[in-house]
Amino acid sequence: MDLFVIATIVVVLAASFGYINVRFFKLPNTIGLMLITILFTLAVFGIGYFNDALLNAEKYVLSQIDFRSLLLDVLLSFMLFAGALHTDFEQLKAQRWPVIVFATLGVLSATFLIGALFYFTLLLLDLKISFLYCLLFGALISPTDPIAVLGILKKAGVPKKLEIKIVGESLFNDGVGVVVFMTLFEVAGMGGEGANALGILKLFGREVLGGLSLGLLLGFLAYRFMKRINDHQIEVIITLAVVMVGTVVAHAFHISAPLAMVAAGLVIGNDKIRERAMSPETEKYVDTFWELIDMLLNTILFVLIGMELLVLSYENSFLIVGILAIPIVLLGRYLSLLLPIRFFSKRLAFVPNTHLVMTWGGLRGGISIALALGLSDEMPRDLLVFVTYVIVVFSILVQGLTVGKLVGRLYTSENNTGNAGESS
C-alpha cells in the first residue's frame, strides 16, 4: 500500500467523520472528530472478536504512518504558522510579558511540579521509575496544544484579553516544551552523566533563540518580496515557501522549527506589514488559503489521534496511573500559573478567575502524544504513552466540552462587555 493510498484512506475517514459530526453530533470539530474516531476504533475492536479483517487493515494503515515524525516534522509547522498568522498582533504585543513568562518559566515550573508529583504518586503505587523519566513526562505533558486550543476557544466566549493570553501562550509554549523535552531526553540518553548546567543552557538557548531569529528573518524576507509585487497567487506561494524552507533549515541546524514558524507567522500577519505588503485581494487569498490548510490538517490530525488507540499497550495499572495523572497535571498547571498571574495582575488588567480558565482551558493534544511516542524502549515507554493518551482524551473531550460552560458561569455577558472596554 503506497503513501497516496494511505493518505486517501485517512482523508476519506476525516471527511466522513467530519460530515457525521456536522450533521449529527454538532460538536466543535476538534472534539467531534476525536470522539467519533475513538468510537469507530472501539467498534473495530468489537468487530475484531468475530472478524479481524477490518482491525488488521486499520492497524496496517496506522503502522505505515510515523505519527511523531508527521506531526513534529511536518504538520506542526504549517498549523502554528496558520495560527500565528491569524493572531491579533497588537493584542499579543500588549500581553507579551505574561505570555513570555507563561510559555517559558510556566512550562519549566510545570515540568518539575508535574514530574515530582507523578514520581511520588508512582512510589505510592509501588511503581519505581527514575525521577528523570518522570521529568520527561512532565515536559511532554506541560505544553498546551495550540491546535486544540485555537479551535475550541473561538466558540467558548472567553474574554478577549484572556483569550489572547491563552492563545499566545499555547503558540509559544509548545516550542519551548519540545526544547525542554529534547534537552531532558538527551540527558536521559547519557544516563544523567556528562550533563552540566552550562551545556543544557546552551542547548536550550540555541533551540529557542535560533528558532525565533530564523522566523523573524524569514518573515522579514517574505515581507520584502511581497511588498515589491502585486500578484496574490505568487504571494500565497511565498508564504507557503516560508513555512517549508523554515522547517527544513530549522531541522538542518537543530533549532526550533515551531518557534520559527510562530515568529514568521506573527511578522507576516502583523496589520502594519499587511497594509504595506498586501493588497486587499492578496490578504483575502492568503487568509483563505491558510484557513483551509489549518482546517484540513487539524481534521487529519485529530482523526489520527483517535486512531492511535490501536497502538496502546494496556495493563490495569496503566489505567489507574492515567486516571491519577489527570489531577496531577491540572494541579501542576494551576500552581505554575499562580505566581506569574499574581505578579502581572498588578501591572496589567487581568480579568477575574484568569488562573481557573487558563488551567481548565489549557488543553493537551497531538504534541504530547507525539513526544511520548518518541520515547525509547529503554524507558517506561508503554506506561507513559498510555498515561499521555488518557490525559489528552480527557483534555479534549471533557475539558474541551466544558470550558465554554465554565466561562459562561464565570463571566456574564455584562462582565464581558465591561472587560472588553478595559485597556490592556
pLDDT at 408: 83
Which amino acid, 221? L
Grid cell 484579553 in the structure block, residue: 161
Question: d(Cα 72, Cα 219) in Å, to the nearest integer?
Answer: 21
Question: d(Cα 424, Cα 359) in Å, to the nearest integer?
Answer: 21
pLDDT at 405: 86
pLDDT at 409: 87
Grid cell 477575574 in the structure block, residue: 352
pLDDT at 391: 97
Point out the residues of the chain with pLDDT beneath 70: 1, 146-155, 190-197, 412-424
pLDDT at 151: 63
Taking domain 67-420, whether its CATH number is 3.10.20.30 is answered by no
> Domain map of the chain by residue range?
1-65, 67-420
pLDDT at 174: 81
Residues in the chain: 424
Q: Which helix H or strand E contains 189, and what residues bound it? A: helix 160-189
The predicted model scores a pTM of 0.90
What digits encode the pLDDT tens for the residues 123-177? 999 998 999 999 999 999 999 876 666 666 666 777 878 888 888 888 898 888 8
Cell output for 386: 498510555
Question: d(Cα 186, Cα 205) in Å, to the nearest integer?
Answer: 15
Question: d(Cα 373, Cα 315) in Å, to the nearest integer?
Answer: 17
